[in-house]
Structures are given as structure tokens and as C-alpha cells.
Amino acid sequence: MSEAGSTARAISARLFGSRPSIRPVMLEALFVFGVLAVALALAAPAAAELAASDWRFVVIALFVYGGVVVVALAGLDDHPHRRLGIANMITGFRAGLTALVAAALVEVERLGPGGDETLAWALVSVAIIALVLDGVDGYAARAQGTGSNFGERFDMEVDALMILVLSLLAYASGKAGFFVILLGAMRYVYLAIHAILPRLSKKLPPSALRKAVCVIQIAALCAVMTPVVEPPFSNAVALAALLLLSASFGRDLFGQVRHGAGRETG
């Protein structure tokens, strides 16, 4: 019996490590994201009713948020702290707001030129709240000393998702041409290039310029989705944002190719 127990422990250690226990931060993350999911499940039906939408609004919101949580939990090993931190909780809340914006895709025909102005302003308001909180989570991480690769990546992916969602809304509503989807796809194209070219596989160091460009993209897309900005001006705003983002990504790629993976010029 003792020999069997020793064998079982050896197999467990081989498969799961010497201490097959769940990290406290994982338990906290499951609790926090679970609470936020419940809050979203309660808020989404009310938001759907205000938007005069249907059950699809709720399903999309929960599906998008669930996807974000799965990706976040998968990367939690890059968070060395025992506590999740206020910053990541705020980012999780921003993910919920992004999910609500994504749910508006079911009513996209009402968001175009001459559409429902109340719905459009509500959509933009939610996106702007998420944008404002984007600065708050970074400040909280620095103030608490809970910054980590996980937090940076979590923040970046929520930003990228918001840009993708707003890009899809801008195109599908007729506020901008097909090119605007490139705004939302740029981050994922960049990741694909990294996957193809091993020398670019390491992450770039933090950059204030890169963060500023990201904020400008979201602000520009919010402007495009307002009722007061219509084609052709909305097309011009979206195109300017795309050119700026292309220059930023080009700068990062050039810096990595020229100076080696994980380094950046300037």
C-alpha cells in the first residue's frame, strides 16, 4: 500500500510538479472574473431592453466576455504576485464594457447614418468609459506595485478587442469603408508575423508612444460612431487612424528586425 502511494505521488509530481496546488492568485482571479460575469449577466438584459434588442445581445456579450476570461486565465502564469491587484480587476471590468459594445453588432443597422442617435450615443458612452478606465488601471498597477507581463498583456488584448469591435461596427454600419477593418485586424496580423518569424517572438518593451497610438485609435473610432460624424468625414477620420497605427506597427517591426527581437528603437 505504501509502495503504491509512493508511486502515485511520483506520477503526480512528474505530471503536475512537486506541489500540484492552485495558486492563490488563480483562485482570486476565478472569483473576481466570476463576479464580473454575474454582473454582466444581470446588466446585459437591461442593456438589451434599453437598446430595444433581443436575446442575441445578451448571448454575444456573455460569449465575448467568456472568451476574454479564458485567454486571461491561460496567461496568469506571467503574473508573479499573490494578489490579482486592483489594476487587473479594472481591466476585467473594461473587458465587460467591451463585451457590451460587441453585443451592439446585432443592432448595427440602426447605428449607421440617419440611424438611432440614442443608441449610437449610448454605445459611444460605454466605449469612452472603457477608454478612460484604460488609464486608471495602469496608474493602479504602478501605485500598488502589481505590474506584470500578465497585466500588460491583459490590458493590451482588451484594447485590441475594443478596436476590433469598433472597427467592425464602423464598417457594418456604413460609417467607414472596408479598410477600417484593418484597424481592428492589425494587432492580430502583428501576432501572426511574430509566430511566423521566430526572431520577433519576444515581446516589445513598454512604450508610451505605442500606448498613445492605441488610445488615439479607440478615440477616433468612437468619434466615427457618433451621430454627428458621417461619411465622407467619418471615412477620413478612420483612414487617418489607420495610417497612424500602420506607422506605429511598422516602427515596432523595423526596430525588432534591425536591432533584434525584444528591443526597440528610441
4 belongs to a structural domain: no
| Amino acid occupying residue 71 | V
11 belongs to a structural domain: no
pTM: 0.86
Using the predicted structure, report yes or no on whether residue 92 has a pLDDT greater than 80: yes
9 belongs to a structural domain: no
Q: End-to-end distance of the chain based on CA atoms, in angstroms? A: 64
Give the CATH number for residue 59.
1.20.120
Cell of 200: 520577433
Which range marks the domain in which residue 253 is found?
A: 16-259
- CA 157 to chain CA centroid, Å, is 4
Domain count, the chain: 1
Q: Which residue has the cell 509530481?
A: 13
- Beta-sheet strands, E only, within the chain: none
249 belongs to a structural domain: yes
202 belongs to a structural domain: yes
* Best CA proximity match to 184, nearest among 158, 165, 204: 165
Average pLDDT over every residue of 89-118: 96
At CA 97, angle to CA 95 and CA 102, rounded to 5? 90
60 belongs to a structural domain: yes
Q: Does residue 213 contact residue 245 with C-beta atoms inside 8 Å?
A: yes
What does the pLDDT look like over 182-234, one tens digit per residue? 999 998 988 888 788 776 656 666 678 888 999 999 999 999 999 999 999 99
